[in-house]
Amino acid sequence: MELFNSPEFAGLVAFVFIVLVAWANRCSKCGKLFTCKIRSRTQTSEGYTHSWEVDEKSQRGKSVRRYTYQYNETWACSKCGHEYSTSCSSSYSLPCGYFSPEDPANAQNKGRGCLNPLTWLNWLNPVAWWRSIPGKRYLPLLPVIFFIGMVVFDTEVLKYPTHWQDYLEDYVEFLLEPLSPRANRRTQLEMVEGRWQTQRRIQEFKPVEYETWEDRLPENARVIEKTTRQRPPQSYYYTYTTATEPATWVRYSIDLWVTIGTLTASGTGLPIAYPDDPVAPSPSPGEAVYGARRSETPTVTYSLVFRDAESERVYWVETIGFIRKEDRYFAWQREISETAYRTLIASSQPLPARVYARSYNESPNIYIYVDDVPY
């Protein structure tokens, strides 16, 4: 969860911990920190006693064995000399370190039970934890309530029971969503609009000049000029060297089809329009001559705009992925195809989807749940 991984949260917890430790170790008179030291410690034990009590639930008498003690400590400030003492008196019926405020006077002073300071690790006792849990009789119902909530959250778990792990993961993420600011969750997306942009490149056949080393000269190149330059010696291994050697530097010319312009068209929805071809077809196709022009096959780029039905946030994406409901097959993120574009913009109902985003400043990865992947 992003909340517990953020450095701001860790810094806040550390600051609160340091403040509490410092406050607990300050003198109540002079206010100095870490100056109070223990001067004496005594414990008075009254031993074990037996008594009979009436159980409120069964209304039957029972034998109770208790251990009663009195614990006292005296502290003194090394700066101002102020002394103060603390005392604790309690009794318990189990030797596990859990004490109940059986003494009425002690219950009024303390308002609660206390732990034996000499056995401070007794709070780790699971028996004491179990006895302090209220409503233990209803704990077996928690798995049933959890399962019912998962079915209500997504009823498709009954249709595809073999993928219950995926639905369980979605349900747990839904329960923990208030603790995570990331948009990595399952949600419902509404189709806002689809956008397309088509491009057609125009090329011309002409000579182009380049420069390179003589041993890297391409085929069909015409040498214009040769010069001698220094370059590092060639090696098949990665080595660092400052040595150089003379080599031939060549300026050459080669005939290529060069892009001289790009025609574009854009729009939303359907139909998809393409730029007109301004180049007339050649009456005698064959070897190209200088000045000849041609147009490439137009290309199309699709993008989709979604709105989150829960948060009302808008997503604009140029890539998309799909998750097949039947077997949870992942069609990974790729550019939107024409088939996927036409399928999604025709959807009138909200689409179940997974939204993965590292932060709100980056474009998210969206996976749509579908019956069949439209690729």
Please state which of the ranges 46-55, 162-171, 226-235 shows the lowest mean pLDDT.
46-55
- What is the layout of strands, in order, in the sheet containing 61-77? 36-54, 61-77, 83-92
* pLDDT value of residue 108: 39
| Model pLDDT for residues 292-321, shown as the tens digit of each residue | 888 888 999 999 999 888 878 888 888 888
Strand partners, 182: none
- Domain extents for the chain? 45-70+90-133, 139-179, 187-195+301-370, 201-263+274-296
For 220-249, write each residue's pLDDT tens digit: 899 999 999 888 777 666 666 677 888 899
Confidence at residue 265, expressed as pLDDT on a 0 to 100 scale: 92
Q: Return the pLDDT at 36.
A: 72
pLDDT tens digits for range 287-299:
778 888 888 889 9
Q: What is the predicted pLDDT for the residue at 118? A: 42
* % pLDDT > 90, the chain: 13
**Is the per-residue pLDDT at 156 higher than 90?**
no
Residue 345 has pLDDT above 60, yes or no: yes
Does the structure show a pLDDT above 90 at 127?
A: no
% of the chain residues with pLDDT over 70: 70
- Strands 319-324 and 365-370, bridge-based pairing: parallel
Q: What is the pLDDT of residue 67?
A: 64
- Identify the residue whose tokens are 């939107």: 336
Query: Would the pTM of this model clear 0.85, i.e. be above it?
Result: no
Does 49 have pLDDT greater than 90? no
Which pLDDT belongs to residue 208? Answer: 93
Distance CA 1, CA 239 (A): 45
